Structure 1
Amino acid sequence: MEPVGHPPPYAERVLDLVERIPRGRVMSYGDIAEYLGEGGPRQVGRVMSTWGGGVPWWRVVHADGTPPPGHEQRCLTRWREERTPLRGARADMRAARWDGAPESTA
């Protein structure tokens, strides 16, 4: 259940970035914090667990490419639909990690 009201400014920045992660790509919690230049992986995780239901949450993973605990099967389903590069049951961070730069459409 989503909390009542609007997310605080930091949460809005996290959610905005998550919405921009392209299909088939992922960012780790730490990648997001580093990109934003504030917070850390735990703060990003807190935002995602509290407010992340309305964004492509399956594109946010642990640094080793594993999905959020309890969401493994749903992540795998979404990753397969989006053709996210995988290594077994985790995202292939070398191939799937997004650095925040605009994707080439060529």
Structure 2
Amino acid sequence: MRIDNNQFTGTFHTEFGQLTLLEELWYHSNEFDGTIPTEIGTMNAMKDLRVHENKLSGTIPEEMYSLPALFRLDVYGMSGIVGTISTAIGNLEKLEQLRLRKNSMTG
């Protein structure tokens, strides 16, 4: 699902977690706010998740680190993203591309 590079607003809905067969979500370069929902951790087929350059805030949910098929994760360009990079990132055995620049994370 590609909804990137628009001027969409609103929150990252928890209902995305019901799309368990979705392999690709390009959610970037919009005006979405709120937090990344923990329900994203139920999207077991997710391979490519791009949520960068929005107005999201909070931490990367621990549940995101359990996506078995994830090979690309882009969470950058959002100063409201805080916290540390969890050691659980090691669970992402298929991860090949990780972009976390231009945010307020530490560690």
Do the structures match in fold with TM over 0.5?
Answer: no
TM-score (norm: length of structure 1): 0.28
TM-score (norm: length of structure 2): 0.28
Higher relative contact order (CA 8 A, sep 6+): 1
